[in-house]
Chains A and B, each alone.
Chain A
Amino acid sequence: MMSNMSAVRLEGITKAFKDIVAVDNIDLEVKEGEFLSFLGPSGCGKTTTLRMIGGFEQPTSGKIFLGADNVDGLPAYKRNVNTVFQSYALFPHLTVAENVAYGLKRKKVARDEAKKRLEEILELVDLPGYGDRRITQMSGGQQQRVALARALVNRPGVLLLDEPLGALDLKLRKQMQLELKRIQHEVGITFIYVTHDQEEAMTMSDRIAVMNAGHFEQIGAPQDMYELPATEFVASFLGASNLLDGEVEGGDGNMARVKLAVGTTVSVPTDRMPAERGSVRVGVRPEKLHISSDVSANGHGSNSVDAQVMVSTYIGVSTSYECRTTDGSKIVVYVQNLGNAAQPIGAGASVRLSWDPEHTFAVGANGGDK
Chain B
Amino acid sequence: MATEGRKKLAPYLLTLPGVAFLVVFFAIPMATVFSVSFQEGSLSKGFTFTGHYQNYTETLARYDTQLIRSLLVGLIVTILTLVISYPMMYWIAFRGGRRKNIYLLLILLPFFTPFLIRTLMWKTIFADEGILLGALKDIGLLPESYQVLATATAVVAGMTYNFLPFMALPLYVSLEKMDPRLLDAAADLYSSRRQAFLKVTLPLSLPGVFAGSLLTFIPAVGDPIDPELLGGVNTTMIGQVVQREMLTNNAYPRGSAISFMLMAAILIGVFLYARALGTEEMTG
Is A348 an interface position by the 8 A CB rule? Answer: no
- Chain B residues with CB under 8 Å of A154's CB are 189-190
Known: A77-B192, A85-B181, A106-B195. Is A91-B187 also a contact (CB below 8 A)?
A: no
* Chain B at the A interface: SS class: helix
Instruction: Tell me the A residues contacting B by CB distance below 8 Å.
Output: 54-56, 75-78, 81-83, 85-87, 89-93, 102-103, 106-107, 134, 136, 150-151, 154
Q: Quote the shortest CB–CB distance from B126 to chain A (angstroms).
A: 42
In contact, A92 and B204 (Cβ under 8 angstroms): yes
Question: Could you tell me if A76 and B188 are in contact, using CB atoms closer than 8 angstroms?
Answer: yes
B188 surroundings in chain A (CB, below 8 A): 54, 56, 76-77, 81-83, 85, 103, 151
Give the complex CA separation of A86 and B203 in angstroms.
23
B-to-A contact residues, CB < 8 Å: 179, 181-182, 184-192, 195, 199-200, 203-204, 281, 284
Minimum C-beta distance from A119 to chain B (A): 19
Chain B residues whose CB sits within 8 angstroms of the CB of A102 once the complex forms: 186, 189, 199
Taking a contact as CB atoms under 8 Å apart, the answer to whether B204 and A77 are in contact is: no
The answer to whether B190 touches A106 (Cβ under 8 A) is yes
Select which of A78, A89, A93 is within 8 A of B184 by beta carbon.
Answer: A89
Inter-chain contact B184/A83, CB cutoff 8 Å: yes
Which of A85, A136, A150, A154: most chain B CB closer than 10 A? A85
Task: Find B189's partner among A75, A93, A103 (CB 8 Å cutoff).
Answer: A103
Contact across chains for A76 and B179 when beta carbons are under 8 A apart:
no
> Complex formed: what's the CA distance from A136 to B284 in Å?
9
Residue with the greatest number of chain A CB neighbours at <10 A, chosen from B184, B185, B195, B204: B185
Given contacts A93-B284, A106-B191, A134-B284, contact A56 B203 (CB under 8 A): no
The 10 A-B pairs of least Cβ separation, nearest first, read A103-B189, A89-B185, A76-B187, A106-B190, A89-B181, A83-B188, A77-B187, A77-B190, A102-B189, A93-B203
Nearest B residue (CB) for A156: B188
Q: Which residue of chain B lies nearest to A56 when distances are taken between CB atoms in the complex?
A: B184
- B277 → chain A closest CB, angstroms: 12
A75 to B194: give the CA distance in the assembly, Å: 13
**A150 near B189: Cβ-Cβ < 8 Å:** yes
What is the distance, in angstroms, from B239's C-beta to the closest C-beta of chain A?
Answer: 37
Interface pairs (23), CB distance under 8 Å: A76-B184, A76-B187, A76-B188, A77-B190, A78-B190, A82-B188, A83-B184, A85-B184, A89-B179, A89-B182, A90-B185, A91-B200, A93-B203, A102-B186, A102-B189, A103-B188, A103-B189, A106-B189, A106-B195, A107-B190, A134-B284, A154-B189, A154-B190
CB neighbours of A90 from chain B (8 A): 185
| A77 to B199 Cα, complex, angstroms | 14
Q: Are B181 and A93 in contact (CB under 8 A)?
A: no
Give the CA-CA distance A107 to B181 in the complex, in Å.
21
Complexed CA–CA distance, A299 and B190 (Å): 64
Q: List, in ascending order, chain B residues with CB within 8 A of A54's CB.
A: 188
**B residues in contact with A83, CB < 8 Å:** 184-185, 188
Residues of A within 8 A of B191 (CB): 77, 106
For the complex, give the distance between the alpha carbons of A90 and B188 in Å. 12
Q: How far is the CA of A103 from the CA of B185 in the complex (A)?
A: 10
B281: chain A residues within 8 A (beta carbon): 93
A103 to B187 CA separation, bound complex (whole angstroms)? 9
Given the complex, which residues of A lie within 8 Å of B182, measured CB to CB?
89, 91
In the bound complex, CA of A244 to CA of B181 (Å)? 45
Instruction: Give chain A residues whose Cβ lies under 8 Å from the Cβ of B184.
Output: 56, 76, 83, 85, 89
B204 — nearest CB in chain A belongs to which residue?
A93
A80 to B185, CA, bound (A): 14
Q: Cβ of A76: which chain B residues have Cβ within 8 Å of it?
A: 184, 187-188
Give CA–CA (A86, B182) in the complex, Å.
11
Q: Which of A75, A76, A90, A136 has the most CB of B within 10 A?
A: A76
Per the bound structure, the CA–CA distance linking A106 and B203 in Å amounts to 17
